[in-house]
Amino acid sequence: AQKVTQAQTEISVVEKEDVTLDCVYETRDTTYYLFWYKQPPSGELVFLIRRNSFDEQNEISGRYSWNFQKSTSSFNFTITASQVVDSAVYFCALRGGSGGSNYKLTFGKGTLLTVNP
Amino acid sequence: EPEVTQTPSHQVTQMGQEVILRCVPISNHLYFYWYRQILGQKVEFLVSFYNNEISEKSEIFDDQFSVERPDGSNFTLKIRSTKLEDSAMYFCASSGRGGYTFGSGTRLTVV
């Protein structure tokens, strides 16, 4: 069984602060994929990143960065110099890679980030 | 960039009525999915579809639900007799070599 835990239900920061959203996962697959999605108030799921289990390099995209650590089964997401437009619910998700047609995503419960001006 | 298209964006239906949610997946993707998100909760997997048949379904996907790919482009989710607890956002997704893409969702309200 696969599981994703986002222990932080809500985070509130002031604009320009850095913020880290935690994600811990469980899987028996040796190959798997991790995702982060942003869900703004309008409701759609906006893809942010996909990382496969063989690639532990950290990634940076503008103000966003991701820290993948297999040793602790974590895939944390940091927003540097947060902005009001970053306010949204952020979901971490896991997809198994065991082959066949089982490619469903297992989502965490999400973290509501509020960035105050 | 290719998109997954869902229609309608909002649907209100009376309890007991049948509803069909429609999706057009990305054309070169082979795997299709429906997910559900009850307001304020996490996104939950309903069903996956590959090679014209269901490949996996969750315990949520009971006999009231069905999926179909009626032609080469559409992928539909039918709820036969809607209940109040079916009110949720329903997301269609498709996946292939290019990635895993979600549609913008259909917000279903059962009254």
Q: Transcribe B49-60 into DSSP letters.
A: EETTEEEEE-TT
Closest-CA distance, B17 to chain A, in angstroms, reads: 25
Which of B96, B83, B89 shows the shortest CA–CA distance to B8?
B89
Residues B35/A35, Cβ–Cβ less than 8 Å: no
With vertex at residue A102, the alpha carbon angle to CA A100 and CA A106, rounded to the nearest 5 degrees, is: 155
Which residues of chain A have a Cβ shorter than 8 Å from any chain B Cβ?
Answer: 35, 37, 43-45, 47, 50, 91, 93, 95, 100-110
How far apart, in whole angstroms, are the C-alpha atoms of residue B21 and residue B11? 9
Give per-residue pLDDT as tens, A8-36: 999 999 999 999 999 999 999 888 999 99
* Stretch A76-89: mean pLDDT: 97
What is the model's pLDDT at position B96? 83
The minimum CA-CA distance between B49 and chain A, rounded to whole Å, is 8
Kindly report the average pLDDT of chain B as a whole number: 94
Residue A23: predicted pLDDT: 98
Q: What is the mean pLDDT of chain A?
A: 92
Give the closest of A44, A101, A104 to B104, CB-based: A44
Residue B43 burial (C-beta neighbours within 10 Å; 0-12, 13-18, 19+): buried
Q: In chain B, which residues have their Cβ closer than 8 Å to the Cβ of A47?
A: 99-102
For residue A117, whether the previous peptide bond is cis, meaning omega lies within 30 degrees of 0, is: no
- How far lies B6's CA from each of A6, A71, A90, B73, B83, in Å? 28, 39, 22, 12, 21
Q: What is the mean pLDDT of residues B82-95?
A: 96
Section B77-85 average pLDDT: 97
At A101 the pLDDT is 44
Interchain pair A105, B48: CB under 8 A: no
Q: What does the pLDDT average to over A77-85? A: 97
pLDDT at A102 (0 to 100): 57
pLDDT surpassing 60 at residue A100: no
The pLDDT of residue B99 is 77
A36-53, pLDDT tens digit by residue?
Answer: 999 999 999 999 999 989
pLDDT per residue over B37-77, tens digit each?
999 999 999 999 998 999 999 999 999 999 999 887 899 99
Is residue B2 helix, strand or coil?
coil
3-state secondary structure of B100: strand
Length in residues, chain B? 111
> Which of residues B13 and B27 earns the better pLDDT score?
B13
Give yes or no for residue B2 having a pLDDT over 90. no
Cβ contact A47–B31 (<8 Å) = no
Interface check for B81 against chain A (CB to CB < 8 A): the answer is no
